[in-house]
């Protein structure tokens, strides 16, 4: 049976612009539809689906949309009902969905409602005669390739795997899909989020800045300079918008009663027992570059490190460039240059 592909997309907080993750999945859908000569449909969930569809100009896909103020906020009942209606309207066999928190929350329920299967955290879609998807298990050490014959099959695609589709051309026509979510039981009364600037984990940033335990160790003058370290790191993050990662040793230190950087938590930890972020560039500072840490850098394309130790793990082939230097001095100079540039 020929495949019919639906890409489910959603708007960001403006309600009228598709998220970056959505446009990446549109790119994946277009590529897959071309490979399997399949029909491509794009479903939009937005306050204003017509406005959101502007970025899909030239995609060549059939566009379906659900619109309304009710989609201004993520809410299980309305989002699941919208996705179900879009899946039914498209009669799709393959449904590609961004692995955003909004979609991940409803996707399994939608799979159940449409009698389909679901796989999450997909990092590639391959195959020519059968669709093969891959995902990582066991802290990114085992890559599994999955095929399934039952349809529909919902696939949640990780962000940063595909480029974003850059639409251009005349406005596209959106076919309205009607659903009744007039009286949702859940009312969203607001959002509580960390104050702007205090959130240091930024998955969409181009650069990852990793702080290692060296920042809080005794320096050549025999003293610990934890507060200066904190200022240098936060200054760099503020000027560049980079995301902050950490080694395990540094985030564990609080529990060991050693000097800590107060803005770091275990959520910042990168590595085998931490996260495996996806940024184009990475800069490790005061970090030794041991294998359990560097395994978390699997998806970082360009790696640089600053360490006093010319024999550290980074210098043994784990980084593209290693600066054997004092990170306090280097980062102070970098921040100074960034300030003068601004």
Question: For binding to ligand FAD (CB under 6 A), which residues are involved?
Answer: 212-214, 217, 219, 247-250, 269-274, 286-288, 290, 292-293, 296, 306-309, 312, 326-328
Bridge pairing between strands 124-126 and 132-137: antiparallel
Q: How many Å apart are CA 273 and CA 269, to the nearest integer?
A: 8
Q: Which is nearer to ligand FAD, 15 or 212 (CB)?
A: 212
The answer to whether 300 and 279 have CB atoms below 8 angstroms apart is yes
d(CA 136, CA 144): 6
Pairing mode of beta strands 124-126, 117-122: unpaired
**Minimum CB separation from ligand FAD for residue 239, in Å?**
20
Q: Which is nearer to ligand FAD, 73 or 249 (CB)?
A: 249
Tokens of 42: 């794009």
In the DSSP assignment, the letter for residue 116 is -
Going across the sheet that includes 94-98, the strands are 117-122, 153-157, 94-98, 4-10, 39-46, 62-67, 175-176
**DSSP H or E segment with residue 207:** strand 207-211
For the chain, the first-to-last Cα distance in angstroms comes to: 57
CB nearer to ligand FAD: pick between 29 and 296: 296
Interatomic CA distance for residues 164 and 132, integer angstroms: 21
Closest separation between CB of residue 320 and ligand FAD, Å?
Answer: 17
Of 177 and 312, which CB lies nearer to ligand FAD in the complex structure?
Answer: 312
Smallest distance, Å, CB 141 to ligand FAD? 12
12 versus 309: smaller Cβ distance to ligand FAD: 309
Buried residues in 149-163 as b, exposed as e (16+ CB within 10 A) = eebbbbbbbbbbbbe
Supply the minimum distance, in Å, between the C-beta of residue 105 and ligand FAD. 27
Cβ 297 to ligand FAD, closest distance in Å? 10
Comparison of 71 and 314: residue with beta carbon closer to ligand FAD: 314
* Nearer to ligand FAD (CB atom), residue 180 or residue 221: 221
**Closest approach of Cβ 285 to ligand FAD, in Å?**
6
Contact between 328 and 229 (Cβ < 8 Å): yes
Contact 120, 135 (CB under 8 A): yes
Q: How far is the CB of 342 from ligand FAD (least distance, A)?
A: 25
- The answer to whether the CB of 277 falls within 8 A of the CB of 245 is yes
Pick 300 or 312: Cβ nearer ligand FAD? 312
Helices 327-341, 226-240: inter-axial angle, 10-degree rounding: 40
Residue 330 beta carbon to ligand FAD: minimum distance, rounded to whole angstroms = 8
Nearest-approach distance from CB 262 to ligand FAD, in angstroms:
17
Instruction: Read off the tokens for 209.
Output: 């800045």
CB 333 within 8 A of CB 318: no
Instruction: List C-alpha distances in Å: 116 to 10, 41, 99.
Output: 21, 18, 17
Nearer to ligand FAD, 142 or 193 (CB): 142
């Amino acid at each position: 049976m020929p495949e019919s592909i639906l890409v489910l997309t959603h708007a960001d907080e403006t309600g009228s612009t598709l998220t970056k993750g959505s446009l990446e999945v549109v790119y994946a859908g277009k590529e897959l539809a071309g490979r399997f000569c399949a029909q491509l449909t794009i479903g939009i969930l937005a306050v204003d689906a017509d406005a959101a569809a502007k970025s899909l100009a030239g995609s060549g896909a059939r566009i379906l949309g659900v619109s309304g103020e009710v989609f201004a906020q993520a809410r299980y009942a309305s989002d699941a009902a919208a996705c179900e209606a879009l899946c039914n309207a498209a009669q799709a066999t393959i449904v590609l969905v961004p692995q955003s928190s909004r979609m991940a929350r409803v996707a399994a329920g939608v799979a159940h409602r449409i009698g389909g299967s679901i796989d999450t955290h997909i990092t590639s879609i391959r195959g020519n005669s059968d669709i093969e998807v891959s995902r990582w298990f066991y802290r990114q050490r085992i890559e599994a390739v999955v095929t399934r014959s039952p349809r529909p099959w919902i696939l949640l695609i990780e962000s940063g795997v595909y480029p974003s589709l850059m639409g251009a051309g005349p406005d596209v026509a959106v076919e309205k899909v009607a659903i009744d979510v007039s009286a949702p039981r859940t009312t969203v009364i607001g959002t509580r989020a960390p104050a702007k600037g205090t959130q240091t984990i930024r998955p969409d940033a181009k650069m990852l800045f990793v702080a290692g335990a060296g920042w809080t160790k005794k320096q050549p003058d025999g003293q610990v300079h934890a507060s200066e370290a904190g200022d240098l790191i936060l200054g760099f993050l503020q000027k560049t918008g980079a995301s902050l990662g950490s080694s395990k040793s540094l985030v564990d230190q609080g529990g060991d009663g050693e000097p800590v950087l107060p803005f770091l938590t275990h959520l910042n930890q990168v590595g085998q027992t931490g996260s495996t972020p996806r940024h184009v560039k990475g800069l490790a500072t005061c970090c030794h570059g041991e294998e359990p840490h560097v395994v978390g850098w699997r998806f970082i394309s360009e790696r640089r490190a600053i360490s006093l130790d010319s024999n550290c793990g980074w210098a043994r082939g784990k980084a593209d460039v290693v600066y054997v230097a004092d990170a306090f001095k280097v980062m102070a100079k970098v921040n100074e240059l960034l300030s003068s540039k601004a």
